[in-house]
Structure 1
Amino acid sequence: MLLCWVPVCLGIGIGVYFSLRIEPGPVAWGAVAFASVVVLLVARKVPTAVAPLCIALALVGCGAGLAKWRTESVAAPVLTFRYYGPVAGRVVNIDRSASDAVRLTLDQVAMDMAPSRTPERVRISVHGDQPIRSFRPGDRLIMTGHLSPPSGPAEPGGFDFQRHAWFAGLGAVGYTRTPVLRSEPADQGWDLWVFDTRMRISQSVRAALPGETGAFAAAIMTGNRAAMSQETLNDLRRSNLAHLLAISGLHMGLLTGFVFAVIRSFVALSPTLALRYPVKKIAAVCAIIVGAGYLALSGGNVATERAFIMVSTMFVAILLDRRALTLRAVAIAATIVLVLRPEALAGPGFQMSFAATTALVAVFRAIRGMDRSLPKWVRAPLSVLVSSAVAGLATAPFAAAHFNQVSHFGLVANVLSVPLMGAVVMPAAVLSVCLAPFGLWEVGLWIMDLGLRWILFVARSVSEWDGAVSYVVAPGSAVLPILTLGLLLMVLWQGKGRFAGMVGVASAFLIWGQTDRPNVLIADNGNLIGVMGSEGRALSRDRGSSFVAGIWLENDGAPTDQVIAAARPGIEMAGRVWRTRIGDIEVIKLAGVTALQDLDGCGGAQVLVSNQIVERPRPCLVLDVGQLRDVGAVALYVQDAGLRIETVRDRVGVRPWNRAGIDTGSIPPTLTLQPRSGPQEQPALTLSGVNQ
């Protein structure tokens, strides 16, 4: 079982590295390397009971080193200012944004700036009536684009898109409203030829199966979800069936498992072959080959790579005459993923897939042999019910933490849908591919259509049930690590130490339940503020900054339309001036130069927010657009003693992916309330380190 702790220790080291606020220097890394070597040498001299602890410490240091190596290996120029001008590049990906706009990812980028400062990859959303369907992977395009650096978290502790973009190789994001022109025809290497093949298959599938089932089939076969409507995606999320879209462990497992079973059964039909050759191992090799082809066809994203590594580990175990589904096999797969892509640790895909797989292996190992007394016709549906319940329970906390919602009828939806996915949809997909050379692939697609229609019907029906979904507050940064370590102790520890895992899990949920949301949130451009009130968070604008507004409301555990949030009481508007009061603290927000010039001092407020640069000193805490660009979004917590201030920069620090425009000393962490002298003794803020 010690092997199972290897990815845990690597993950701790990776997590520690990504949680640091300052990038360690050469001296620090030298010390980590020296300490790791020392504890490994010590492990050979100490008693057997202590040696694993020394090895674990060395693995923690190794995990941190892997994360650093990966960070430096993907380093590329990142745009440091807003850019408007010509953009040229080669198409390497075409997808859709959350707002349903077509997005082009370009490499070999040329812009009106020095090549050394030009990002290697940019992603541009295309607006207006554009001939997107005529573009192919490898085409060289030219356009006029509005680009900006990848944005930081929408609030302190939120999702860090800057870090995500760093590891995805994106140095700038933006949009274009001008015509997109093809300057040169497709220039394709092997990778783009595979991508072009994906797009062609996706278009052919949608042509043969028009509507949502065709888009669903294309997503399953090629990973291209661009044609899926937002309504269907929402139904799948609310019914906890969105995992059927992502080409991950379920799809890879069903596909390779089906191929393994078919080839093994087919070869076993010949007594000569069955007696002379290792049929089981031949089927395992064929399944690995098919899985590799599926990985290439689906685009090779992180989730699919992870799934392929997992199933390959299982089939390699078969080749080595070992049990395929064991915790050791899961640990090996997790270790490979963390070595290749350490940044995957923080993603919901890694956490949910390995949580589900680990839980399934542990539970079925515990109940092995218990079902032998049951009739055979009961075992199959019981296995589906148990596996759906276990996977759902294992992934629910992680899904709630990342997506702020819990699907209450997900078990029902999965029991009604997953068996059909395994018994009908995936075999039909294999059949359609096998019949494609003979021009008969529509037979397989027709069968797929029947299964997918049922799944979409289940998703739509379950999502419409009363109480189908409840929303939860985004947890603090400590919740998921404590929860994960607690669950791992319960599964991996041999002996009474498992009870410590139960304490960890209970502690994580207790901390989560006491999460304190900010009284005031301020966007990093000064255009939007959100104030927590009795009816929920009130917003200063009913449109504009909709992405940030949506994230704030979701993290509050109360997603709603921005127009509704803007109509809530709590913020008073007069022209281009917004005022709000939380306890004894008054916040004033200004929009535009005129409103700023007309304001006398701070207008009696303790906090001034402006989307302009405030030139002259003011007798209050000033958060102008210059400071906000430096420190990111700001959260204000009103406390008995005063005002606690937290910025994005406070949380993420100064790291390789966010080094542009660093200024860490412009805002104090706390402001203290002290009574003014006078008959009414009204409290005021004592300011230090700010414009006064």
Structure 2
Amino acid sequence: MGLLLTGPVGLAGPAQLARALALAASAMLASVEARRGHLFPWTPVFLSLGIGLYFLQKTEPPVWALWACAGAAAVLALAARRLPELWGPLLIALALVAGGTALAGARAHLVAAPKLDHRVYGALEGRVLVLDRSISDAPRITLDQVWIERVPPDQTPRRLRVALHGEGGVTAPPPGARIAMMAHLSPPGAPAEPGGFDFRRHAWFQQIGAVGYANSPAVTLSPPEGGATLLVHRMRMALSDALRARIPGDQGAFAAAILTGDRSAMSRDTIQALRDSNLAHLLAISGLHMGLLTGVVFAALRFALALWPRLALRLPIKKIAAAGALAVGAVYLALSGGNVATERAFIMVAVVLGAVMADRRALTLRAVALAALIVLVLTPESLTQAGFQMSFAATTALIAVFAALRDRPADRWRPPRWAQGALAVVISSAVAGAATAPFGAAHFNQVSQFGLIANLASVPLMGLLVMPAAVAAACLAPFGLAVLGLEPMRWGIAWILWVAERVAGLDGAVWPVPAPGPAVLPLIAVGALFVMLWTGRARALGLVPILAAFALWSAVERPALLIADSGGLMGAMGPEGRALSKPSGEGFVALSWLENDGDRADQAMAFARPGLNGARGEQEATVAGQRVTLITGRGWAERIAPACMRGWVVVPQYVDDPPAGCRIFDRAALARTGALALFPGADGPRLVTARGVAGDRLWAQ
């Protein structure tokens, strides 16, 4: 190596390096050219790279930069048509990256809406758009056409979300009704810790500019009204109520959740059991439900039309059945609430059924890529969401694996026909579970140890009994015979809930994992996509970034000390896990910290741990020799000066006249920095702020 850098031979070093790079580039381009017929599945990958680049920026790109990206994408796309074919795919890839950045930026600006910049308590009016439940299991409503007392119209959020507590929150008003109430409102919450989930970004793309709660009853000002959207929503809620009236308890709530998307009646214990057994995906109306429903309808229509020989011989009954199934899927999309996961599922089903009607192979990686492109163009922000990542990971992996099994040499062993169905269920459950496990663990901080067992025992029943019974109930309902379908549906749901409860109760059912660093999921995604989309032996290179990602994940460093942006909660990592400064209050922040640590303890358990010194009202932690004191309660002002002599001070109050030379994180300072994280360093603690990690973006301003 030294000869390449020094001496007479060193003159040839750069030339040799350039020649080697040129040969490598030539080989790569030749490899790409050899696969020109298999490159379309890469289009959403490069579009996603551009979208990801936009969201990774620390400062909001200026509008002219977005226009420049859009112009560059157009120029590169045109150049790809004129330059030699060898360079065409590379230019198209660069055009997709530039276009993805411009697309995400344009979407962020198009959905811009006012949001509160301070806390408000007062009267508000609005029209009920959506009903759901909050993390505390209280009814929650989303309002539009909002008026807020003492807030100018140009600063009033377009939408806001309010949880209904107390006696007035027991019965939520129906969609379309205009209501009034007294409520506590605040801006959408910042991350609970640096690098944590940023609810502000999530709310920005939903145009939710305020969140809060109400303790007093809501007053209905006018009965439900509105356009077709609210009419469909009222029909959806009416169907949910009817299902729960016919099927009582959690079984009826489960039926309402999978058919209408309404989870408001599900008990928290049941939802937790479904999560711990890796069956919570059965509640979300996504690809499984849409695929099962449209598949049942497609098969039933095709069978019914085939019974009429004259019709079957003269008309393309396969295409007619596909069109009918697509229409049923569209109705299901509307009745289920049309959330993002259901929209993705419908787009995928529409692509598959469209391929059937066009006499093309339906389940291919090209179909998945087309569905992903449509979703990313319509909602580029969905790239950052768990639903998008998990649904397309599962679908892509399933199609890739079954395509490889289908294309095996004829001399390879194949199972007997009677065992192929059961083996397909086992393979699909294992593949889908393995493909989604890293994303589920990263977003939800847990891995279900026995999830494969639970899915093998439950998912086949969804396809063989629950969804066909639901279709039968819908067909029989006009004749007053819906019970003939609902009762078998209830049997299947009862079995699924029983499996969830039993599996969740097993020792070691849940393996908690810490939150990964920001590079982990992108490395896993890139490596897995290379393995599935590339051809030939070179696809094994995709294992390199996957292994690197898991190595980074296993070595992830959690903060030694966390401080909430309110200044009222502090958590220090101790010998038994993170110790919290109080047993209750700010529960969402406390739960987020513990989950990101990979810790299953609750707030009260974490409060009882060693790790913080002192009593409530004045608690201390030391990080890399730096003492940090949290001061709360009465007489806090008099205790600041002595604490300053020992180190840094955290106070959930405004300190107007701090002692000279004292580093104080009061309410004003924390409003500027957001939540704080301290890591041990060689020269003292390393301080990381939530604002520094999130940057100065549209949703964070």
**Letter matched to residue 441 of structure 2:** A
Of stretches 253-262 and 567-576 in structure 1, the one that deviates more from structure 2 is 567-576
Give the equivalent residue in structure 2 for 1:410: 451
SS for the counterpart of 1:212 is: helix
Give the equivalent residue in structure 2 for 1:336: 374
Distance in 2 of aligned mates of 1:609 and 1:288:
58
Give the equivalent residue in structure 1 for 2:312: 274
Give the equivalent residue in structure 1 for 2:96: 59
Q: CA deviation at 1:599?
A: 2.6
Give the equivalent residue in structure 2 for 1:516: 557
Q: CA deviation at 1:39?
A: 2.4
SS for the counterpart of 2:680 is: strand
Of stretches 555-564 and 241-250 in structure 1, the one that deviates more from structure 2 is 555-564
Give the equivalent residue in structure 1 for 2:69: 32
Matched ranges for 1:237-248 at <5 A:
237-248=275-286
Give the equivalent residue in structure 2 for 1:561: 602
Of stretches 131-140 and 587-596 in structure 1, the one that deviates more from structure 2 is 131-140
1:453 aligns with 2:494: yes
Which residue of 201, 204, 211 corresponds with 1:173? 211
1:478 aligns with 2:519: yes
- Provide the TM-score with structure 2 as the length reference: 0.92
Contact 1:148 1:172 in 2 (8 A): yes
SS for the counterpart of 1:608 is: strand
Give the equivalent residue in structure 1 for 2:675: 633
Q: CA deviation at 1:134?
A: 6.6
Of stretches 592-601 and 68-77 in structure 1, the one that deviates more from structure 2 is 592-601
Distance in 1 of aligned mates of 2:172 and 2:645:
58
SS for the counterpart of 1:158 is: coil
- Provide the TM-score with structure 1 as the length reference: 0.93
Contact 1:550 1:559 in 2 (8 A): no
- CA shift in 2, pair 1:39/1:496, >3 Å: farther
Distance in 2 of aligned mates of 1:583 and 1:68:
41
1:183 aligns with 2:221: yes
Matched ranges for 1:665-680 at <5 A:
none
- Output one character per residue of 1:227-261: Cα deviation in whole Å (capped at 9) or x when no partner: 00111011111111000000000000000000000
Give the equivalent residue in structure 1 for 2:23: none
Give the equivalent residue in structure 2 for 1:622: 664
1:50 aligns with 2:53: no
Distance in 2 of aligned mates of 1:83 and 1:617:
28
Task: Give unmatched runs, 5+ long, in structure 2.
Answer: 1-37
Distance in 1 of aligned mates of 2:614 and 2:126:
45
Which residue of 145, 161, 165 corresponds with 1:108? 145
Matched ranges for 1:237-386 at <5 A:
237-368=275-406, 373-386=414-427
1:530 aligns with 2:571: yes
- Output one character per residue of 1:471-505: Cα deviation in whole Å (capped at 9) or x when no partner: 11100111111110111111111234313211010
Q: CA deviation at 1:186?
A: 1.2
Q: CA deviation at 1:320?
A: 1.0
Of stretches 218-227 and 34-43 in structure 1, the one that deviates more from structure 2 is 34-43
Distance in 2 of aligned mates of 1:628 and 1:441:
58
Distance in 2 of aligned mates of 1:72 and 1:80:
19
Distance in 1 of aligned mates of 2:625 and 2:169:
56
Q: CA deviation at 1:131?
A: 6.6
Distance in 2 of aligned mates of 1:212 and 1:524:
38
Distance in 1 of aligned mates of 2:634 and 2:666:
12
Distance in 1 of aligned mates of 2:309 and 2:505:
54
SS for the counterpart of 2:117 is: coil
- CA shift in 2, pair 1:359/1:590, >3 Å: same
Give the equivalent residue in structure 1 for 2:123: 86
**Overall identity of the aligned pairs, in %:** 53
Give the equivalent residue in structure 1 for 2:26: none
Distance in 1 of aligned mates of 2:95 and 2:633:
55
Distance in 2 of aligned mates of 1:548 and 1:434:
47
Of stretches 18-27 and 547-556 in structure 1, the one that deviates more from structure 2 is 18-27
- Output one character per residue of 1:97-125: Cα deviation in whole Å (capped at 9) or x when no partner: 12111101111011112111111111111
SS for the counterpart of 2:428 is: helix
Contact 1:314 1:325 in 2 (8 A): yes
- Output one character per residue of 1:440-496: Cα deviation in whole Å (capped at 9) or x when no partner: 112211111000000011111111111111011100111111110111111111234
Distance in 1 of aligned mates of 2:642 and 2:93:
58
Contact 1:295 1:305 in 2 (8 A): yes
Give the equivalent residue in structure 2 for 1:229: 267
Distance in 2 of aligned mates of 1:641 and 1:42:
53
Q: CA deviation at 1:188?
A: 2.4
Distance in 1 of aligned mates of 2:518 and 2:53:
12
- Output one character per residue of 1:645-669: Cα deviation in whole Å (capped at 9) or x when no partner: 111111111111111xxxxxxxxxx
Matched ranges for 1:132-143 at <5 A:
132-133=170-171, 135-143=173-181
Of stretches 372-381 and 79-88 in structure 1, the one that deviates more from structure 2 is 372-381
1:610 aligns with 2:651: yes
1:19 aligns with 2:61: no
Give the equivalent residue in structure 2 for 1:488: 529
SS for the counterpart of 1:497 is: helix
Give the equivalent residue in structure 1 for 2:33: none
- CA shift in 2, pair 1:27/1:92, >3 Å: closer
**Letter matched to residue 534 of structure 1:** P
Give the equivalent residue in structure 2 for 1:662: none
- The alignment's C-alpha RMSD in Å is 1.4
Of stretches 459-468 and 371-380 in structure 1, the one that deviates more from structure 2 is 371-380
Task: Give unmatched runs, 5+ long, in structure 1.
Answer: 660-692
Q: CA deviation at 1:373?
A: 4.1
- CA shift in 2, pair 1:496/1:263, >3 Å: same
Contact 1:248 1:306 in 2 (8 A): yes
Contact 1:533 1:570 in 2 (8 A): yes
Q: CA deviation at 1:602?
A: 3.7
SS for the counterpart of 2:696 is: coil
1:428 aligns with 2:483: no
- Output one character per residue of 1:312-353: Cα deviation in whole Å (capped at 9) or x when no partner: 100001111110000000000000000011111011100000
Q: CA deviation at 1:271?
A: 1.3
Distance in 2 of aligned mates of 1:542 and 1:573:
15
Distance in 2 of aligned mates of 1:365 and 1:465:
35
Give the equivalent residue in structure 2 for 1:680: none
Give the equivalent residue in structure 1 for 2:186: 148
Distance in 1 of aligned mates of 2:342 and 2:595:
28
Distance in 2 of aligned mates of 1:208 and 1:488:
45
Give the equivalent residue in structure 1 for 2:626: 585
- Output one character per residue of 1:203-235: Cα deviation in whole Å (capped at 9) or x when no partner: 111111111101000101100001001110111
Distance in 2 of aligned mates of 1:33 and 1:168:
24
Q: CA deviation at 1:629?
A: 1.3
1:195 aligns with 2:233: yes
Distance in 2 of aligned mates of 1:314 and 1:463:
35
Distance in 1 of aligned mates of 2:50 and 2:201:
17
Give the equivalent residue in structure 1 for 2:105: 68
Distance in 2 of aligned mates of 1:644 and 1:463:
40
- CA shift in 2, pair 1:414/1:320, >3 Å: same
Q: CA deviation at 1:30?
A: 3.5
**Letter matched to residue 642 of structure 1:** G
SS for the counterpart of 1:639 is: coil
Distance in 2 of aligned mates of 1:132 and 1:198:
20
Distance in 2 of aligned mates of 1:653 and 1:534:
33
Distance in 2 of aligned mates of 1:116 and 1:384:
55
